[in-house]
Structure formats: structure tokens, C-alpha cells
Amino acid sequence: MPYSDYRTALVTGASTGMGAAIVEQFRERGLEVHAVARDAERLRRLADETGAIPHAVDLADVDALERELGGLEIDVLVNNAGVSATGNILDASRATVDAMIDVNVGAVLHLARLLLPGMVERDLGHVINISSIAGRYNFFGHTAYHATKAAVGQISRQLRNDTVGKRIRVTEVCPGRVETEIFGRNLGGTPEALQQAWETYYEGYESLTTADIVSTVDFAVAAPRHVNLGLIEITPTFQVAGGLTFDRREA
């Protein structure tokens, strides 16, 4: 099992949800894990509980990324952090568009730039990029989010080209709706917003859970070393991407 090949991992968006759960799984597998997020207090608690190494860094701050993470020797990189927003491009603010570009795309590229050369030199590594079905299918959502998640898919494929001939695997995990805090954060992040998000998006639905995503990541990393699982699309059984909208305009 390739977990025995690896010694270190780095997980972004590690303070909550899928990121924190992946950190816990990697620690149970015996990896030294660098946990990256903006929330220093949540990272501290995660570090106390798991033994992970916390890095309170804003992924949009490239200078901070280089200072804090540039010298690390990482075998498994999980680009899990993501930014979303309500509405669409018609009512988008400059700040929300910039945040999605900086975190969803920029941080993925910069972390690859910083950490992938070491993997190539050691002839060993695994990059796992968490994207979204929003990057593969068109539905009513924020245009910038769809565009950035589509970019993650292209980056994932391109990294395989960049490292061909080396024992480096790249996996894009493409989830449908997962029970996380993302909708609640989009609505303001208050307890009331989290409750509203639960009632709107999760109550009565059989959504994916963080455990489902952790199992998927674990399966990809634990695959035989000659096997690269390039794309794993995982959705709830009752969630499908389909249909066509043709809006009739009255004269």
C-alpha cells in the first residue's frame, strides 16, 4: 500500500469539514501532516487533537505561502480549500471574484509550483485536488465558482503532463453536494445562517458526508503505486446533473 511510500502530507482548508477530516485520516495512517487554514484557533485545536502541524496562512497571500510552506518536503498535497459565493456574475463583487480566483486556482498553482519540484526530485508524490461537479456541469450557480473549479480539472490533468516519467500521481476528486459549512458561510456564517443553510440544502436530502470524501481520498492514496486514479466523480445517489433550460420570451 503506497501509504508506506509516503512520510509527509499537506492539507489546505484544514480547519473544518473535509479538510479537518482528511488531516485526521492521514494522521491515523501515520503521516506527518501540515494543516493549513486561516483560522489559527481552529487549527490549534486540530493540532492538539491530532498532532498535526498548524500553519495559519491566508492562501491568497502568495508571499506568506512562500515563507511558511516553500521549504517543506511534502509527499502528499491535498488542495482542499475553496471559496464560493451566492448569486452569479451579474451581482458579483470584485472581492468575491478575486477571492475565488486567488484561492480556488491561484493557491493550487502556487502550491504545485512550490512543492512539486521536490516530488519530482525524489521521484515520489501524490497531488489530490478537490474540485466540484460545478466545474464539469452547467447549472445555476456562481459563474466564477464554476470557472475556477473547471480550471482545477485542467490543472490536475496538466500536472500529469508536467511530471510524466516520474512516480507522481495526480487525482481530481469531484464531489457533488457535501454536508459542510460552505452554504452557511455564504449566508453570513452566523448560527442562524448555518441553521438556514441546513434547512435549505441538507434537511431531507441524502447528501454526501465528509466521511465519504475521506474514504475517496484514502482509496486514491492507498491504490497500488502503479495506479493513478485521475478523476473520481462522487455524488449522492439522488443527485444528478441533467436537464436543459429553454426560456420562452414573450413578445
126 forms bridges with which residues in the sheet?
76, 169
Query: CA gyration radius for the chain?
Result: 18
Under 8 Å between Cβ of 46 and 35: yes
Per annotation, catalytic residue among 137, 145, 201, 202: 145
d(CA 86, CA 3): 38
d(CA 42, CA 251): 56
Clarify whether 145 is annotated catalytic.
Answer: yes
Encode the chain in three state secondary structure.
CHHHHCCEEEEECCCCHHHHHHHHHHHHCCCEEEEEECCHHHHHHHHHHHCCEEEECCCCCHHHHHHHHCCCCCCEEEECCCCCCCCCHHHCCHHHHHHHHHHHHHHHHHHHHHHHHHHHHHCCEEEEEECCHHHCCCCCCCHHHHHHHHHHHHHHHHHHHHCCCCCEEEEEEEECCECCCHHHHHCCCCHHHHHHHHHHHHCCCCCECHHHHHHHHHHHHHCCCCCCCCEEEECCCCCCCCCCCCCCCCC
Active-site positions? 145
